[in-house]
């Protein structure tokens, strides 16, 4: 009796699970992985992994039902575009199709610029239904009963998971931050430590923000740590709630699943941008196009796609990005800043 290939003994569901689970790289640097060419086989945030696995399961179920003879991931790959086309024809939103294409691209190791990569329909900002425009949430969510939570979200810009993890000890003052910077810099002079250096850099980022109080996000997206400034007309109320919460106690015992957290983050980002942005006409023409010899504004971001032509201040976008826990300023332009 011949040896049985163990990979083939697993069903498609298990093979896909093993593949995606093996890519988990939570808390590691995406920037470094891109630089060394290993990012393709890594998933850097738990939320991303969770979303990819959710939609991969839909695909696996489809293959098992429509192509029961298919028993390996290698064989299932040929049905990727077939399934995505079916999902498009079912009327799934462009955002959902993009997510599913990315999930399967990660599963099968297909880059978006590969000729065999499924081309999802164009995403338009007006079509976004997931809290990026005003919408009526679940009828059981009472804005009046959750008024303090809403104000807290709009003044801190935290993600849902960050709100759930936030504790009383995570209220930090600027004086505390500066004291820690001084202490760490002295230690660096004695002996260099790369982790300590990263901590110093994160703390020094707070110098670009206004205000005296911050929330300490200990495990944000991708495992990143940051200090987010507390802003807005409700800042005092937010600070008071955190001061009245015991150090190890959660600031929020319950965060409603129906609360439009992303929408509140967008309002936070917009206010942050408006507080720091310069008038576009006041930004200097400090760069020269080598081809034409014409000067242009190096600190102006020009939006594309459905927002084509809109101009934003890159410096203010960077401040927003750091406050929200994002690495790329275009994410802020595409998903957060609105109503300007």
Integer Cα distance of 66 and 202 in angstroms: 50
Task: Say if CB 19 and CB 107 are below 8 A apart.
Answer: yes
Residue 27: band (very low, low, confident or very high) from pLDDT cuts 50, 70, 90: confident
- What are 142-166's pLDDT values in tens digits? 787 788 999 999 999 999 999 999 9
Query: Buried (b) or exposed (e) across 288-306, using 16+ Cβ within 10 A?
Result: eeeeeeeeebebbbebeee
Strand partners, 229: 214
pLDDT of the residue at 247: 94
- Tokens 């429509």 sit at which residue? 66
pLDDT the model gives residue 145: 78
pLDDT digits (tens, 9 = 90+) for 104-147: 999 999 887 777 778 776 655 554 444 444 444 445 567 877 88
Distances (CA, A) of 256 to 14, 54, 146, 252, 261: 33, 22, 9, 10, 9
Q: Give the Cα separation of 97 and 118 in Å (integer).
A: 9
**313 pLDDT above the threshold of 70:** yes
Q: What is the largest CA-CA distance in the chain?
A: 79
Evaluate if residue 1 carries a pLDDT over 50.
no
Tens-place pLDDT, residues 201-229: 999 999 999 899 999 999 988 888 999 99
Q: Which two tokens stand for residue 111?
A: 């880059």
What mean pLDDT comes out for the span 246-256?
A: 91
Does residue 5 carry a pLDDT above 70? no
pLDDT for 333 beyond 50:
yes
Per the model's pLDDT, the better-predicted residue between 123 and 264 turns out to be: 264
Query: HSE on the CB side for 275, CA within 13 Å?
Result: 19
pLDDT of 79 > 60? The answer is: yes
What percent of the chain has pLDDT above 70? 90
- Provide the pLDDT confidence category of residue 8 given band limits of 50, 70 and 90: very low
Q: What is the pLDDT of residue 124?
A: 57
């Amino acid at each position: 009796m011949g040896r049985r290939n163990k990979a083939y003994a697993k069903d498609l569901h298990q093979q896909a699970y093993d593949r995606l689970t093996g890519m988990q790289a939570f808390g590691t640097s995406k920037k470094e992985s891109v630089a060394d060419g290993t990012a393709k086989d890594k998933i850097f945030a738990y939320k991303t992994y969770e979303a990819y696995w959710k939609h991969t399961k839909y695909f696996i179920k489809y293959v098992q039902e429509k192509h029961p003879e298919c028993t390996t991931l290698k064989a299932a790959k040929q049905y990727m575009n077939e399934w995505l086309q079916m999902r498009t024809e079912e009327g799934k939103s462009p955002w959902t199709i993009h997510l599913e294409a990315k999930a399967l691209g990660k599963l099968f190791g297909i880059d978006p610029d590969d000729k065999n990569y499924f081309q999802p329909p164009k995403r338009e900002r007006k079509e976004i239904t997931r809290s990026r425009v005003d919408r009526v949430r679940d009828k059981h969510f009472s804005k009046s009963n959750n008024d303090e939570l809403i104000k807290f979200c709009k003044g801190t810009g935290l993600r849902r998971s960050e709100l759930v993890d936030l504790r009383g000890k995570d209220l930090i003052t600027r004086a505390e931050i500066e004291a820690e910077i001084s202490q760490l810099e002295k230690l660096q002079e004695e002996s260099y430590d790369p982790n300590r250096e990263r901590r110093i850099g994160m703390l020094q980022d707070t110098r670009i923000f206004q205000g005296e109080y911050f929330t300490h996000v200990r495990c944000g997206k991708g495992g990143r740590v940051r200090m987010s400034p507390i802003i807005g007309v409700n800042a005092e109320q937010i600070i008071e709630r955190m001061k009245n919460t015991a150090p190890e106690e959660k600031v929020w015992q319950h965060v409603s699943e129906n609360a439009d957290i992303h929408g509140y983050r967008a309002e936070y980002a917009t206010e942050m941008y408006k507080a720091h942005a310069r008038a576009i006409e006041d930004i200097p023409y400090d760069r020269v196009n080598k081809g034409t010899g014409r000067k242009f504004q190096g600190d102006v971001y020009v939006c594309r796609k459905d927002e084509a032509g809109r101009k934003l201040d890159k410096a203010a976008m960077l401040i927003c990005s750091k406050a929200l826990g994002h690495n790329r300023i275009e994410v802020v332009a595409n998903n957060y800043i609105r109503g300007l």
